[in-house]
Structure 1
Amino acid sequence: MPVQAPTECDLSTLSDVAAVLAPALSGGRRHDAQLVAGERGQFATDLSTVYVSAAQTVPAGMTVVRAMTLGIALQSSPTKEMVSALDWSLLTPRERRALRIAEGRAAMGWAIASWPAMSPDYATLAPGHRAEPADGIDELLQRASALARSNLVLDVPELFGVPPGSRPLSRHRERIAGDGRRRNRVPWSSRRNLRHMRLAMPVGGTEGESPRLVIFEEAPDSEGESSDADRRLGVPYPEWDYRLNRYRQDFVTVVERRISPRYSRNIDLDPRIRRWFMAPHALARRSRMEDGDQLDVSAYVEQFGWSRAGGHVDDRIYEAMLPAQRDVATALLLDATSSLQGRGGAGFRLQLACSDALCAGMSSTAERFAVFAFTGETRHRVEVTRLRNFDDPAWALPAGAAIRPSGYTRLGAALRHVTRRLVQAPAERRVLLSIGDAVPSDEGYEGTYADADVNRAVDEAIAAGVVFRQLAVGKTTDAQLERRFGSGRFHRVSKSEDLPSVLARVHKELTYL
Structure 2
Amino acid sequence: LLSVAEFLKVKRSTDDDPDDNAADAAANLEQLALSRDEERVASKVRFDLDLPSAAEDDVVLGDGIPLPEWDYRKGLLREDHVRLQELAASPRDPRAAPVPLPQHLRRTARHLHRQFAALQPGRRWLKGQVDGSELDLDAVVRAATDRAIGHHPSDQLYLSLEKRERDLACLALADLSLSTDAWISSEARVIDVIRDSLLLFGEALSATGDRFALCGFSSVKRSNVRFHRLKDFSQRFDDAARGRIMAIKPGYYTRLGAAIRHATSVLEKQTAARRILLILSDGKPNDLDLYDGRYGIEDTRVAVIEARSRGIVPFCVTIDREGASYLPHLFGPGGYAVIREPDELPARLPMFYAQLTR
Q: Which residue of 2 is the match for residue 440 of structure 1? A: 285
Q: 1:383 to 1:508 in 2, by over 3 A?
A: closer
Q: Report Cα offsets for 1:474-496 as digits up to 9, x if no partner.
A: 33331212122222111233244
1:341 maps to which of 165, 181, 186: 181
Q: How does 1:217-256 map to 2 (within 5 A)?
A: 234-256=64-86
For 1:365 and 1:509, the matched residues in 2 are separated by 14
Equivalent residues of 2:283, 2:323 under 8 A apart: no
Q: 1:385 to 1:505 in 2, by over 3 A?
A: closer
Question: 2:113 aligned to 243, 268, 274, which one?
Answer: 274
State whether residues 190 and 342 of structure 2, in contact with CA within 8 Å, keep that contact through their aligned partners in structure 1: no
Q: Shift of the alpha carbon at 1:390?
A: 1.4
Could you give the per-residue CA deviations for residues 207-261 of structure 1, whole angstroms, max 9, x where no partner exists?
xxxxxxxxxxxxxxxxxxxxxxxxx952111111222222011111001122266
Matched, 1:328 2:168: yes
For the structure 1 residues 445 and 266, does the alpha-carbon distance in structure 2 shift closer, same or farther, using more than 3 Å as the test? closer
Tell me how far apart the structure 2 counterparts of residues 176 and 328 of structure 1 sit (CA, whole Å). 60
User: C-alpha displacement at 1:473, in angstroms?
Assistant: 2.2
Q: 1:363 aligns with which of 202, 206, 209?
A: 206
Deviation at 1:262, TM superposition (A): 5.0
**Distance (Å, rounded) in 2 between the aligned partners of 1:437 and 1:405:** 12
Provide the residue aligned with 1:312 in structure 2. 154
Task: Give the match for residue 423 of structure 1.
Answer: 268
Output the CA distance in 2 between the equivalents of 1:375 and 1:505. Answer: 24
Deviation of the 1:323 alpha carbon: 11
- TM value normalised by structure 2: 0.63
One-letter code aligned to 1:383:
R
- Which runs of no fewer than 5 residues in structure 1 stay unpaired? 1-174, 183-187, 190-200, 202-231, 291-302, 317-321
Compute the displacement of 1:501 (Å): 4.7
Within the candidate set 278, 296, 303, 1:450 is matched to 296
Q: SS in structure 2 opposite 1:445?
A: coil
Q: RMSD value over aligned CA atoms?
A: 3.9
Point out where structure 2 has 5 or more consecutive residues left out of the alignment.
Answer: 1-40, 51-61, 129-142
Among candidates 257, 260, 266, match of residue 87 of structure 2: 257
Aligned twin of 1:403? 248
* TM-score using structure 1 length: 0.45
Whole-angstrom distance in 2 between the partners of 1:265 and 1:326: 28
- Answer yes or no: is the 8 Å Cα contact 2:276–2:314 preserved in 1: yes
SS of the residue aligned with 2:182?
Answer: helix
Q: Distance in 2 between matches of 1:178 and 1:386?
A: 37
Cα distance, 1:384 vs structure 2:
0.7
* Partners of 1:289 and 1:454 in 2: CA distance: 50
Structure holding more strand per residue: 2
Specify the alignment match of 2:324 in structure 1: 478
Indicate the SS of the match to 2:189: helix
Give CA deviations for 1:350-400 in whole Å, capped at 9, x if unaligned: 111111110121234443222111112110110111112211124242412
Greater share of residues in helix: 1
* 1:329 match: secondary structure: strand
Counting only pairs closer than 5 Å after superposition, residues 4-153 of structure 1 correspond to structure 2 as none
- SS of equivalent residue, structure 2 residue 73: coil
Q: How has the CA–CA distance of structure 1 residues 266 and 452 changed in structure 2, closer, same or farther, with 3 Å as cutoff?
A: closer
Partners in 1 of 2:317 and 2:310 — Cα distance? 20
